[in-house]
Structure 1
């Protein structure tokens, strides 16, 4: 992981207008989606959930096609520095193993009968959907917003965090709409902790985007995180007595410090070398 891959220049000059339209647009659509979910008896299968999850890619595709911004910097090729694909594949399975192991040692984590088989079934049957939903998001965050901010000359760390802030705020209507179905924690605790986790992930996947010039490591890493986490949140697989501490979530107290440390190491080791990377 030593060669910096510059993000290609778009065919038309990049302006702040496109970035502003994108940011406002995804927040409006996510809010509308959240309102529809909140009024639905089954938020997860409602039209609002579909509008919410598709909003990042809808805005990106709209601006690139209808707005004629072009696809030159979308990062659709596999890119360079293929080692980042291994990072994307393994990062969250390793991070999520930590709370499970620690919780089992202190008697706070209990595997259900047949947990391994049940996990394998849920992981396999949900993997394609999780990767697809991750692509819907990442084609916006790392496929559109990251290279556009880079082309505007925004320094690497600042743009990663800017993407992370929008990414975190975009999630709020979803979290609020689900309420107790999403978390047992008070929203005043859940949302800030989740937002810090999102900022850390934004740095990791932003650096991966810079280093590879590709959106696909972020898609893979994001999808794997969800594909591993969701089965482990099922009581048919594992029961966690103290989810705030040992929850298999990026924002749990056992995972969040490790995630922040990972982001710091990734940026210090690989991100600073790409700090001046702008479209060539």
Structure 2
């Protein structure tokens, strides 16, 4: 009962945090785009809520997932680091073969420099974000024995809904146009659907490793690679094909991430079955 109550409190804070930020920015209009006080409030309130719930409302700290759990999980760290680069390369290759992208401005040295330069800030940012979405919400909901489908849908839906003020207010129209040539409302809808699909692979890696660190690395890689690739103009997608092969939210791209997530789910299920059929040996002391 306590867990359900605290999750509900968390969800309410998540859903209102961005709109509190929008209200603050309304009264402080002279602020830099993408770096306003309101945007800062939107980013930190969910984390602040999890700290209060853990410290003062009985949630505790044991399930936050801060232990790296390297033993037996190194392969999942590697998988987490490779997912976004591999899928992005696959989408670029498909687009090249079909003539759906212009690579005349592509510069591997410049992209590599932008990627390396963004890793630290994205690592810090996504440590806080994954502490919230996997370290708190996924952790708490998984204990409520939700089915896999409802766990994906709930976590992904709340994660996506948290972004609505970002999509509708904080994000510039020019950045939206770089990702998809649609209006803000449609972009928000696509963004939420994308995050629900992404949640499958994030959830599965978390459930297998019981730590947030592979997810921090995976999220870091996505932000440091895909966003500069699009926003810095290294690729130009043929008009009308953006909805199919946008490296962040295209239909083909998102379906590939869903396939990865479902493959991970299959692997987790097999590991669980093996652990039931072959439990670890128990040792007793004979006197």
Query: Given the two structures, how large is their TM-score scaled by the length of structure 2?
Result: 0.82
CA separation of 1:241 and 1:41: change in aligned 2, threshold 3 A: farther
C-alpha deviations, 1:239-273, integer Å up to 9, x for none?
33343233221x21230121222222222332576
Paired with 1:274 and 1:35, the residues of 2 have a C-alpha distance of 47
Is 1:269 aligned to 2:267, yes or no?
yes
Q: Match of 2:4? A: 16
Q: Match of 1:33? A: 21
**1:110–1:240 Cα contact (<8 Å) kept:** yes
| Structure 1 residues 1-280: aligned runs within 5 Å | 14-36=2-24, 39=29, 42-79=32-69, 80-111=72-103, 113=105, 115-177=107-169, 178-184=171-177, 185-242=182-239, 243-249=242-248, 251-271=249-269
Paired with 2:140 and 2:269, the residues of 1 have a C-alpha distance of 17
Q: Secondary structure of the residue that 2:102 maps to in structure 1?
A: strand
C-alpha deviations, 1:167-208, integer Å up to 9, x for none?
011111101112523322123432332222211211111111
**1:34–1:174 Cα contact (<8 Å) kept:** no
Count of matched residue pairs: 262
**2:106–2:235 Cα contact (<8 Å) kept:** no
Paired with 2:51 and 2:237, the residues of 1 have a C-alpha distance of 40
**2:84–2:221 Cα contact (<8 Å) kept:** yes
Larger radius of gyration: 2
Paired with 1:236 and 1:24, the residues of 2 have a C-alpha distance of 37
**1:30–1:52 Cα contact (<8 Å) kept:** yes
CA separation of 1:271 and 1:23: change in aligned 2, threshold 3 A: farther
Could you tell me how far 1:108 is from its partner in structure 2? 3.5
Could you tell me how far 1:44 is from its partner in structure 2? 0.8
**Cα RMSD (Å) of the superposition?**
2.4
Paired with 1:29 and 1:174, the residues of 2 have a C-alpha distance of 11
Structure 1: gaps (5+ residues): 1-12, 276-280
Structure 2: gaps (5+ residues): 274-287
Query: Given the two structures, how large is their TM-score scaled by the length of structure 1?
Result: 0.84
**2:3–2:59 Cα contact (<8 Å) kept:** no
Could you tell me how far 1:114 is from its partner in structure 2? 6.7
